Structure 1
Amino acid sequence: MDTIFFQTEAEFREWLEQQHAQMQELWVGFYKKSTAKPGISYGQAVDQALCFGWIDGIRKTIDVESYMIRFTPRKPRSIWSAVNLKRAGELVELGLMHASGLKTYQERDPDKAQLYSYENDKRALVDSYEAQFRENPAAWDFFQAQPPYYKKVASFWVMSAKKEETRLKRLATLIEDSAQGRRLAQVTYQAAKNATSENGEDSR
């Protein structure tokens, strides 16, 4: 697959202006901060993608210095994360949204926006849970290679349980499934919605 390392936001924006309506995907390359190599940041790339109705997805390692993320056009009526929804609104106010991005933003389903309310609370594993996760390198590497939305929903699924016993069981399930190279069966959009309710602990 071809990967492009953009040096600036302007370069990525120019590519999107020319290709956003024709292309179905783009792998954008990023250098890790520790390399000190120049290039567009992840946040800058997401901003420009939002401006044209695109969204980030799968992340893959290239080498010890870099990684790549797949960007694609957002599907109609897809679910917006709370973070992207807020940022898109800011980009609209700044006058940076392209017509295609504005159309995608305006056609979003407001009811589905609440589905990602987990981003406002309990969105990350506590340090002790993350440390336990890292003890299984295969599981941790698989988890880190997943799209941002999956990692957030999976983390919320673990942390949203009321009882410590349930949280630990869910963490064990997440680690086990990740070690086997598979995503949690429980983490579906419906499961995420159920996890935000006050009742219904998972027995696993």
Structure 2
Amino acid sequence: MMHILRFLKPSTWQLWLKDHFDHEGVWIEFEKTKESETIKPDEALNIALCYGWIDGQIKRIDDNFYLKYFAQRRPESIWSTKNKASAERLIQKNLMMEPGLRAIQVAKENGQWERGDSVPDDYDFDSFVRMISFYEEAYKNFMHMSPSVQKTYSYHYFGAKKAETRTDRLKKIVDRLNQNLKPM
């Protein structure tokens, strides 16, 4: 069952997480306009990190709204450099809650905290671009994206160890690029 929530203020999302931090996950509705009445995605993510949660998949509703999935961070999930910096900033501001601190401790103990900073041994950006070039629309969109977005896509592909996982990731990447979407 898909739980969809809409928060107008960051404090209401924080209160919800405080009472439901062990919940399976929820979809939060966001408004695309600058005059948005809903909380901002970055606000939602920072609050989620405080409770050991993370954002993920995005689903379009229409031209004005979209959904973003939030759930408890799995122990095996990799911490991105951006999320680590946010978490450290939240700790310094004394905003990090116990579930968030536990998620960080688990990641440090199992190596996932550092893994997000490492480049895969066989990383080859040029070969990734050549693979994408076989898909005309995807390639065209990819080449118009910023270098950081291109790098994120290529890291995601090379982050998979098994050939079948890479094949699956390439299909998903090409699908997103065909729609001119950035990585999730």
- Fold shared by both chains (TM-score > 0.5): yes
Distance, in Å, in 1 between the alignment partners of 2:75 and 2:20 is 18
Q: 1:152 to 1:8 in 2, by over 3 A?
A: farther
Separation (CA, whole Å) in 2 of partners of 1:65 and 1:157: 29
Q: Name the CA distance, whole Å, in 2 between partners of 1:176 and 1:54.
A: 24
Secondary structure of the corresponding residue to residue 117 of structure 1? coil
Q: Match for residue 28 of structure 2?
A: 28
Q: Deviations over 1:91-112 (max 9, x none)?
A: 1111111111111112213743
Q: Which runs of 5+ in 1 are unaligned?
A: 140-149, 159-172, 182-204
Alignment deviations for residues 97-143 of structure 1 (CA, whole Å, 9 cap, x no partner): 11111111122137433433379xx9xx9xxx9x963867xx9xxxx
Alignment of 1:133 onto 2:130: no
Q: Tell me, what secondary structure is at the counterpart of 1:108?
A: helix
Q: What's the counterpart of residue 50 of structure 1?
A: 49
CA distance in 2, matches of 1:9, 1:176: 32
Q: TM-score, normalised by structure 2?
A: 0.65
Deviation by residue 1:153-192 (Cα, 9 ceiling, x = unmatched): 424468xxxxxxxxxxxxxx779842799xxxxxxxxxxx
Gaps of 5+ in 2: 120-124, 143-148, 158-169, 179-184
Correspondence 1:78 to 2:77 = yes
RMSD value over aligned CA atoms?
3.6
TM-score where L is the length of structure 1 = 0.59
* Residue of structure 2 in register with 1:106 after alignment: 105
- On the 8 A contact 1:154/1:174 being kept in 2, the answer is no
Distance 1:90 1:18 in 2: 23
- How many residue pairs are counted as aligned between the two chains? 145
* Aligned residue number for residue 59 of structure 1: 58
Q: Quote the residue 1:116 is aligned against.
A: 116
The equivalent residue for 2:12 is: 11
Q: Matched residue of 1:50: which SS?
A: helix
